[in-house]
A and B are shown apart, each in its own frame.
Chain A
Amino acid sequence: MSDVREAIARAHHDEWARVIASLTRRFGDLDIAEEAAAEAFAAAVERWPADGVPPNPGAWLTTTANRKAIDRIRRENKRDDKHKEARMVYDDPPEPVGAIDDDRLRLIFTCCHPALAMQTRVALTLRMVGGLTVPEIARAYLVAESAMGQRITRAKAKIKAARIPYRVPSAEDLPARVSGVLAVLYLVFNEGYLATGPDTDPLRPDLTIEAIRLTRLIRALMPGDGEVAGLLALMLLTEARRTARVSAGGELVPPTEQNRGAWDTGLIAEGHRLVRERLAAAAAGVAPGRYQILAAINAVHTSARDIRDTDWSQVLALYDQLVRLDSSPIIALNRAVAVAELDGPQVALAAVDRLEDTLTGYHAYHATRADLLRRLGQSRQACAAYDKAIELAGNTAETAYLTRRRDQLR
């Protein structure tokens, strides 16, 4: 019995996106695909315990879902010209199998279309590609179930009404569109990595694990894309340190104090492999994008057995490369942390202070200043900076850590 439950869970994990994608392709309607897929999984829950798990669960689910969809269309008498007219557009005939021809890729690009609001893209991707239920997504983002349901319904309606196409973008548009997809996945990951909200767990492994799973899927579909590999590596190297990042008392543990023995060596090895793959590509003349550089920085950090072994000049060189690509003040702030290790907190503080205009509303700006001021022995100013950081921080574990640090100075 538990074997069957496990088989259903595994099938849901492995087959949901495939079933949705192939139904969307066939019926040209996300709504029909979503409902029919849900019904097919419900049928599996009902029938598999009695009939046994079919030899090919994916095929069983697709066939069942297809039948459910046809039933619905018949029921609603939608098989008229009007329905045909409303079909989504996709490039027909399909490109040769191989390259990047997979309906799931079409599905991902549709869910992450730039004409949809960012939050909508996140919700739609988690629902259609990730297979999370509406209540699960609503809980993840602390919104009412009805509001989340409406957001997804409106998105499906817009896709249909505005004819957002169901296809892999042209080669010319692909880099921009891929980076749009990666932004969605990184957003999901980051909410799990540093969850916001007073009533939320500080870490949300459900979200980080889901983001990694979806990024792995895209990596399998687009193995040649360097930024996809970079983002996956970045996520793996970050996730590897998850359990070491929060203490038993629910306090964020800074990298300097983390128990490196608690890091997940399997994830680190996999992340390092991906970074090496990208380094080889860079050596061959392919300029790395921001995710690849961020992954490389994390590879340096995770290569040090002890914080004192960190190759800070390598970290700084990578940040310099990143700054040339992306002049955002947040990157400049992170670069200053490496500067502090190489040139001392005084030099780093001067660099951080230059960012005040743009980052004054950002908790990490004040937390970084507080730490540098503390190291310089300027306790009173450090306390004030900690106060500001605590006021702005949204993560409970981070607030706990900052509060302890501040109180030590008093």
Chain B
Amino acid sequence: MQYLVSVIDDKSNPGSTDRRPAISAFNERLIAEGYWVFAGGLADTDAATVIDNRGEQAVFSDGPFVESKEYLAGVWVWEAPDLDVALKLAAEASKVCDRKIEVRPFQ
């Protein structure tokens, strides 16, 4: 079963910025234990562009699709046998990243 694991940051109360080495070590472990599918940190939401081409013409808008205090800072995709395993890893991930984590199953 695959889970999308989102790292949530808060603009008014951001997590610490020195987590990179700890996250790298955690990623090494995810790979070694067979959970790792994909991981990526994201640029600031200011760098996002939303495209809507459902009408006659593509409309571009500058910025994320929803403006909020909390935003997606990075994602993982994990392969785990069940939610308990994913939640246990996510609890560690939250410590390692110093941020909140959302775990959501793929369909």
Contacts and interface: CB of A to CB of B under 8 A. Distances in A.
Given A89-B81, A89-B82, A163 B1 contact: yes
B33 interface: no
Given A163-B105, A164-B84, 12 more contacts: A89-B82, A115-B83, A115-B87, A161-B107, A162-B103, A162-B105, A163-B1, A163-B81, A163-B83, A164-B83, A165-B82, A165-B83
Contacts of B107: 161
Contacts of A162: 83, 103-105
Contacts of B82: 89, 163-165
Interface of B: 1, 81-84, 87, 103-105, 107
A165 B105 contact: no
A164 B86 CA distance: 10
B85 to A, nearest CB: 8
A302 B83 CA distance: 44
A161 B105 contact: yes
A181 B1 CA distance: 26
A169 interface: yes
Residue among B1, B82, B103, B104 with the most chain A CB within 10 A? B82
A161 B3 CA distance: 10
A169 B105 contact: no
A30 to B, nearest CB: 14
Interface string A301-335: 00000000000000000000000000000000000
A282 B82 CA distance: 37
Interface string A139-165: 000000000000000000000011111
Contacts of B84: 164-165, 169, 173
B2 to A, nearest CB: 10
